[in-house]
Each structure stands twice: as structure tokens, then as C-alpha cells.
Structure 1
Amino acid sequence: MPRSDHPLLPFLITLAGVGMLSLMDAFMKGASLAIGAYSAAVLRSSLGLLLIAPVWLAGGGKWPQPHVLRLHLLRGTSSTFMALSFFYALTKLPIAEAIAISFIAPLIALYLAAILLGETVSRRAIWASVLGFAGTIVIIGGKIGSESPNNDLWLGLAAIIFSALLYAWNFILIRQQSQVALPREVATFHSGVSAVILGLAAPWFFVLPSTDVMIAVGWSALLTVGGAMALAWAYARAEAQALVPIEYSGFLWASLFGWLFFREAVTMPTIAGTVLIVIGCWIAARAPTEQSTI
């Protein structure tokens, strides 16, 4: 049955989803600095599963068909290592800079969508991605030019680039998942697969958190579930190439939360890059979208 949603609604929901995940990053940075990226990631996934699994089951959730389960396993596995490397990068880099560098993912995903999903990449979507990417280059250039490179910087850069490559693939998997599963099922398996994979190493690497850290991770889990469901809902109703540039708005959220939580300064290159990113998002929002059904 065709959807009757307002054509801009997927963009607004995507914006909200990105905001929730950016706030989650702020909570997870604090937790990762306290107990390590691995322990924080294990707790987030486990709590996320406890939150969303009852919702999925109460809504009549059933074990997925093999081809759907394969998608859940693929995304859950790639998301596990994507998140782990990203949270590690947050312990080495400011949130805004880490988010900015990760914006190479939407650029890559734009063309993966054409290869793997058969989507036609419009000129408008290409210009949107180019502007967004140009904004990140301005920001990164300002960052590297303002301080001397050290081991932490290079480790952080390596981790965020690896995470971004996996993130690009995740965009495609989200689009494929959203066509065959409801958001609550997508969110359940997203957290569940990650909890199982990370839990395998718990006897050797897990560190018990303090109460404050546990509360922060709890908020992270709640925001992860909310963000995952929001993105799954939006990607079921618009093409990946149209929604992907909205990810660039994550820098705006990251700048805000980085300042609020860690007093991370916003520099002039950051402001200049942000302007380009916002323009790219505006262009993407004006691109024609395609309604989908589930």
C-alpha cells in the first residue's frame, strides 16, 4: 500500500535520527574515556537490546526469513566494528572533528547506492555530496594546521577512516533492511548482533563501570535505539542518495554537544565548513524522492 507521508517527512526524521546518534556519541565519548571503547560498546549494545527486544516481541515480532536474517547479520557485524573503531577515535579526537572526517562515508555511499541498489545518482545529489565533502576538507585542514601531529592524532585518524568505510556500507544495508523489515525489527537485530559479537571477548576485556558511567551508557543505548528506528523509517520512504547528505547535519549536532559536554571550541574553519555542509543538506532536501512500500 503506497505511503501518504509528506515528502519532506523522511528528511526531518533523518535529521532527528542523526541528532539522537550525535548526542549518543557525546555520552559514549565520556564512557569510553572512563572504561575504554570496548566496554562502553558492549554495554550500549546489551542495554539497547534489552530496551527494543520487548517492543519488537510485543508487536508480533517473528524470526526473520533467511534472506532478511542475512541482512540483519551483515549490518549487525559491520556496525559492531564500525562503532567500536568510532568510539575509539572519539577518545583521540574532538567529537566535531571525528564526525567531520566520517563524512567521507556518505560520499562513498552515494556511489555504492548506484552500484549495489541500482539507484540513479542525480546531479543534485552529486553536488550536495561534493559541497558537504568540501566542508569537511575545510574543517580537517583547519584542525591539522592548528596543531602538531602526534601518535594519538594518527591513531584517531586511522580509526575514524576505517569506521567511515564501514559506515558507507551501512547506508546501503539500512536501505535494503528497511525494504523488508519494520524499524523495531531492524533496531532489535542491530543491537542484538552487536551484543553477541562484542560479548565474545568480554571475559578478557570487559571493565565494570561506575554508576555515573552506567547512566551515560544507558542514555546512549536509548538514543541508539531511537536513532536506528528513525533512520530505518526514513530510509523505507526515500532513496539512499537523497537522505545520505542529511548525515552532514551531524556536524552541527556534534559541534553543539562537543561544546556542551567537553567545552570543545568551534573554530573559524569549523564555521566555514559548516556553511558548506548546510548548503549540501538543503540541496539534498530539494532533490526528488521516491516513495516506497513495505
Structure 2
Amino acid sequence: MSPLRGIALKIASILLFSIMAAFVKAGVAHVPTGQAVFFRSVFAMPVIVTWLALRGDLRTGFRTQRPMGHVWRGLIGVTSMGCGFAALGLLPLPEVTALGFAAPLLTVLFAAVLLGERLRLFRLSAVMLGLVGVTVVLWPRLSFDDLSGPATLGVALVLGSAVTRALAQIHIRRLVATEETSAIVFYFSLTATLFSLATLPFGWVMPDASVLAMLIAAGLIGGVAQILLTSAYKYAEASVVAPFDYASILFAIVIGWVFFEEIPTVMVVIGSAIVMLAGFLIIWRERQLGMKRGKARSLMPAKW
């Protein structure tokens, strides 16, 4: 174990995921969401396959006992990715990032319902606190006079992404019982590529050189970020590196301000702080109880 190395890898992965989101945000202004998901998935595959080959895990990356399990994981994951990418085209980057913090809170609830994990009062209270924070972030966006507005749609999409991302985490917890990490990483990229390619008949366009470069960069950076994230959990326990997920809001604020002229509102800042507090409380409680979910967490992208 090398906690400092694990923390450094986690922060680097979060930074790269934030940069990837910025490229996607710029790209979805010019191409359909399904096309952006395809580029994110297909150009991550060479990076991941090379990584598996260098680790000597290429053979295990192709071996699976539960092929349909990977298909379902891919379907859930690509749905989350699609909703998140579409939301990036409708809402500021910091706001999408803040609302995405609902995913780990929902994972706690889904684990209790779907996996039978015990949900004690402390953790339930922390989850409720976090959901209050999410409500604070989204409340100014809910215009009940115009529920069909783009902002309302953006909120619905990012919350849909959070729900499906939490469900993907639950599915990964089931897969790790029989599947190797390398297989889960490889087959997600493969199935996400195939599912997103199925959107081709729904209006793909030929992007210009700059947009094409951004989409390719999103895929390559996403692949590297996934590798760094997975590697972080080799050097430090999940409870050590998990709190650094929240560095994403800082990166999102800087990137949104510099490249998109997006300044987070006071409500986004306050709501994010509440959600972060709830997340820290859950992480602290899990460490107190000695829960070890590092393998499953390492397979879950911080953001798509």
C-alpha cells in the first residue's frame, strides 16, 4: 500500500474526467449525444487494451463467466453516459457535476434494497442530508411554469444519469464476485461502443476537424482516466481515496469559468457543500465499520 500514490492517482483521474467532460460539452453542441458516446467509448478501447496487455491481463480481459452480466452493465452504463452527456449540453458544467453527486448517495439506498445491505440510521440520515443538498442545487432550475424548458430537461437528464450510475455500481458489485477487473473494464468499453453505434440511424453528422479532435480526445482521456482510477485502488484503501471524488467540483468550477464563462450560483455552492458533507459522513462511517468495497469502486468511473 502507498496511500500518497493512490491519492495522487485518484486526483489525476478526477482531473482527466473533468477535462473529458469539457470536451464532451463542447462536442455535443455540434453532434448528437449518441455519437459523442460512441467516440468516448471506441477511442477508450485502444488505451484500455494496451493497458491490459502491458499488465499481462489481456487473456483475463477476454474471459468471462457471465456474458449477459456484461451486456446489462453496458446497457445501464451507456444509458447513464448518454443522459449525462445530453445534460452537459443544457446545463453549466459545475451544476451537472454537483447534481451528479447524487449517484453515490443513491448507491447506498439501492444497495439496501437490491443487495440486502443493512441501512442503519446514521447512513440513512447522511443520505437524506445529501439529497437535501441535491435539492438545493436543482431548486432554482425547476420552473413549474415551463416544465418543458431546456433547464428542466437538463435537470431530469442529469438525475437520470445519477440513478443509472448508481444502478451500474450495484451491478458491478455483483459482477466482481465472479469476474476479473480487467474483464469488467474491457467489456464495458466494448458494449458501450456497440450500444452507442446503434444510434447511427438517428442522425449522426460529419463533424469538422476541431469537433472531431475534441471527441477523439474525450475518448482517449476517458480511457486514461479509467486506468488511473482503477490503479488508485491498488495503492490505497477505498476509504482513503474516495473523498477525493469531490475534487471534481473544484475542477468543474475552474474549467467552466475559464472555457465556458460559467460561474456557479450561490445555491450550487451551498448545495454542493451539503452533499459533500453527507458523502464524507458516509465514507467515515464505512471506514468505522470496516467495509471494503475497493474493487467495486475502482471500476466505477467518477464521471462516465
Report the TM range for the smaller structure's normalisation. Answer: 0.7 to 0.9
Match in the other structure for 1:107: 105
Matched to 1:73, the amino acid is: V
Match in the other structure for 1:290: 291
SS of match in other structure, 2:29? helix
- Alignment CA distance shift 1:258-1:126 (3 Å): farther
- Alignment CA distance shift 1:224-1:117 (3 Å): farther
Q: 2:237·2:294 contact (CA, 8 Å) conserved in 1?
A: no
- Give deviations 1:65-108, integer Å, cap 9, x for gaps: 222x3332221111112111221121111122223333333222
Match in the other structure for 1:43: 39
Equivalent positions of 1:124-203 (< 5 A) are: 124-144=122-142, 151-178=149-176, 180-203=178-201
SS of match in other structure, 1:261? helix
Structure 2 CA distance, aligned partners of 1:66 and 1:292?
21
1:196 to partner: Cα distance: 1.1
Equivalent positions of 1:192-271 (< 5 A) are: 192-232=190-230, 247=245, 249-271=247-269
- Alignment CA distance shift 1:40-1:162 (3 Å): same
Match in the other structure for 1:65: 64
- Give deviations 1:203-246, integer Å, cap 9, x for gaps: 55322222222222233113322333345456788679x98876
| 2:49 equivalent to 1:53 | yes
Q: 1:246·1:284 contact (CA, 8 Å) conserved in 2?
A: no
TM-score by length of 1: 0.80
Q: 1:37·1:87 contact (CA, 8 Å) conserved in 2?
A: yes
218-227 or 264-273, larger mean C-alpha shift? 218-227
Match in the other structure for 2:25: 29
- Structure 2: segments with no counterpart, 5+ residues: 296-304
Structure 2 CA distance, aligned partners of 1:96 and 1:211?
27
Percent identity between the aligned chains? 23
Structure 1 CA distance, aligned partners of 2:112 and 2:196?
32
Q: 2:6·2:232 contact (CA, 8 Å) conserved in 1?
A: yes
Number of residue equivalences: 287
1:161 to partner: Cα distance: 2.8
Match in the other structure for 1:86: 84
Structure 2 CA distance, aligned partners of 1:202 and 1:216?
19
1:43 to partner: Cα distance: 1.3
- Give deviations 1:125-157, integer Å, cap 9, x for gaps: 444433332222222224447x97652123223
- Give deviations 1:25-48, integer Å, cap 9, x for gaps: 111010111222122111111111
Matched to 2:135, the amino acid is: I
- Give deviations 1:247-272, integer Å, cap 9, x for gaps: 55543332232222211112222222
Q: 1:129·1:245 contact (CA, 8 Å) conserved in 2?
A: no
1:19 to partner: Cα distance: 3.8
- Alignment CA distance shift 1:232-1:176 (3 Å): farther
TM-score by length of 2: 0.78
12-21 or 268-277, larger mean C-alpha shift? 12-21
How large is the RMSD of aligned CA atoms in angstroms? 3.4
